[in-house]
Amino acid sequence: MFVHLTREEEDALDEKQGTAISTAYKILLAIGKATNAEKLIPVEWVHLSGVNYNTIGDAGVNFLTEYSQEARFLVPTTINPMGYDSHKQNNLSSNFKKQQGQITNAYEKMGSVPSFSCIPYELFQLPDRGHNVSFAESNAAVMANSIFGLHTNKESSLSALASAITGKAPYSDLRINSIRDPKIKIKIEKELKTELDYGILGYFSGNSVKESCVSFGHQISSIDMYKTKALAAALGTSGACGMFSSKEVYDESISYGKEEEKSIVNELNTTDSGDVIALGSPQLGMYELELVSNMIGGNKFSKKCMIFCPRPIYEKSCKSGIAQRLENAGASIICDACTCLSPLLSREEYDSVITNSVKAAHYLNKSNGVSVCLTDIKSIIRNYTK
Amino acid sequence: MDYSLNCKVIVGGRAKGRILSTKQPINFLSSVDHLTGLITDKNHELCGEFLKDNLLIFPYAVGSSVGAYSIFALKCNGVSPSGIICTLKTDITTASGCAIANIPLLELSKDQEIPEIENFSEGTVDGISGILQIKKV
| Cα of B25 to nearest chain A Cα, Å | 8
Q: How far apart are CA A251 and CA A26, in angstroms?
A: 38
pLDDT for B1: 66
| Cα of A23 to nearest chain B Cα, Å | 8
Of the residues B66, B102, B103, B105, the best mutation for testing chain A's interface (the one with the most A CB atoms within 10 Å of its CB) is B66
Q: In which band, very low, low, confident or very high, does the pLDDT at B118 lie, cut at 50, 70 and 90?
A: confident
The shares of helix, strand and coil residues in chain A, as percent rounded to the nearest 5, are 45, 15, 40
pLDDT of B120 higher than 80: no
How many of the other CB atoms lie within 10 Å of CB of A225? Answer: 17
**Is A238's Cβ below 8 Å from some Cβ in B?**
yes
| Cα of A139 to nearest chain B Cα, Å | 9
- Name the phi and psi angles at A32, rounded to 5: -60, -45
Q: How far apart are CA A266 and CA A263, in angstroms?
A: 5
Which CATH architecture fits B3-135? 3-Layer(bba) Sandwich (3.50)
pLDDT tens digits, A113-122: 999 999 999 9
Q: Where are the domains of chain B?
A: 3-135
Interface touch B76/A153, C-beta < 8 Å: no
A30: nearest CB among B11, B34, B41? B11
pLDDT for A324: 98
First to last CA, chain B: 9
Interface touch B25/A158, C-beta < 8 Å: no
| Cα of A327 to nearest chain B Cα, Å | 31
Relative to beta strand A184-188, strand A252-256 is parallel
Cis amide linkage into residue A170, ω under 30° from 0: no
Q: Which amino acid is at A175?
A: R
DSSP-derived letter for residue A364 is: I
**Is A78's Cβ below 8 Å from some Cβ in B?**
no
All residues of chain B having their beta carbon less than 8 Å from the beta carbon of residue A162 are: 96
Chain A with chain B: Cβ pairs closer than 8 A = 143
What integer best gives the mean pLDDT of chain B? Answer: 93
| Cα of B64 to nearest chain A Cα, Å | 6
Give the residue from A280, A211, A63, A165 showing the smallest Cα distance to B89.
A211
Q: Using CA of residue A25, residue A31, residue A37, residue A41, what is the dihedral sign?
A: negative
B92: nearest CB among A34, A210, A238? A34
pLDDT truncated to tens, each residue of chain A (386 aa)?
589 999 999 999 999 999 999 999 999 999 999 999 999 999 999 999 999 999 999 999 999 999 999 999 999 999 999 999 999 999 999 999 999 999 999 999 999 999 999 999 999 999 999 999 999 999 999 999 999 999 999 999 999 999 999 999 999 999 999 999 999 999 999 999 999 999 999 999 999 999 999 999 988 878 999 999 999 999 999 999 999 999 999 889 999 999 999 999 999 999 999 999 999 999 999 999 999 999 999 999 999 999 999 999 999 999 999 999 999 999 999 999 999 889 999 999 999 999 999 999 999 999 999 999 999 999 999 999 99
Q: Which of B4, B64, B96, B121 is catalytic?
A: B64
Residues A211, A241 contacting (CB under 8 angstroms): yes
What contacts A149, CB < 8 A, 6 or more positions away?
A129, A130
Of the residues B23, B60, B69, the best mutation for testing chain A's interface (the one with the most A CB atoms within 10 Å of its CB) is B69
**Is A175's Cβ below 8 Å from some Cβ in B?**
no
B96: nearest CB among A31, A59, A138? A31
B107: nearest CB among A34, A58, A363? A34
pLDDT for B117: 81
pLDDT tens digits, B51-90: 999 999 999 999 999 999 999 999 999 999 999 999 999 9
B92: nearest CB among A63, A153, A236? A153
**H or E element in which residue A268 lies:** helix A258-268
Residues B67, B97 contacting (CB under 8 angstroms): yes
Q: Which domains does chain A have, with CATH numbers?
A: 7-177 (3.30.499), 181-266 (no CATH), 270-384 (3.30.499.10)
Interface touch B90/A159, C-beta < 8 Å: no
Interface touch A35/B90, C-beta < 8 Å: yes
Interface touch A33/B95, C-beta < 8 Å: yes
Tell me, yes or no, if B64 is annotated catalytic: yes
pLDDT for A1: 59
All residues of chain B having their beta carbon less than 8 Å from the beta carbon of residue A157 are: 65-66, 68-69, 96
pLDDT for A37: 97
The shares of helix, strand and coil residues in chain B, as percent rounded to the nearest 5, are 15, 35, 55
| Cα of B89 to nearest chain A Cα, Å | 8
Outline where DSSP puts E strands in A304-351. 304-308, 331-334
Interface touch B29/A367, C-beta < 8 Å: yes
**Is A264's Cβ below 8 Å from some Cβ in B?**
no
Outline where DSSP puts E strands in chain A. 40-42, 46-48, 77-79, 134-135, 168-170, 184-188, 213-215, 243-245, 252-256, 276-279, 304-308, 331-334, 352-355, 371-374
pLDDT for B137: 67
Question: What 3-state DSSP class applies to A369?
Answer: coil
> How many alpha carbons fall within 13 Å on the CB side of residue A100?
22
Of the residues A152, A156, A238, A362, the best mutation for testing chain B's interface (the one with the most B CB atoms within 10 Å of its CB) is A156
Q: Using CA of residue B59, residue B60, residue B64, residue B69, what is the dihedral sign?
A: positive
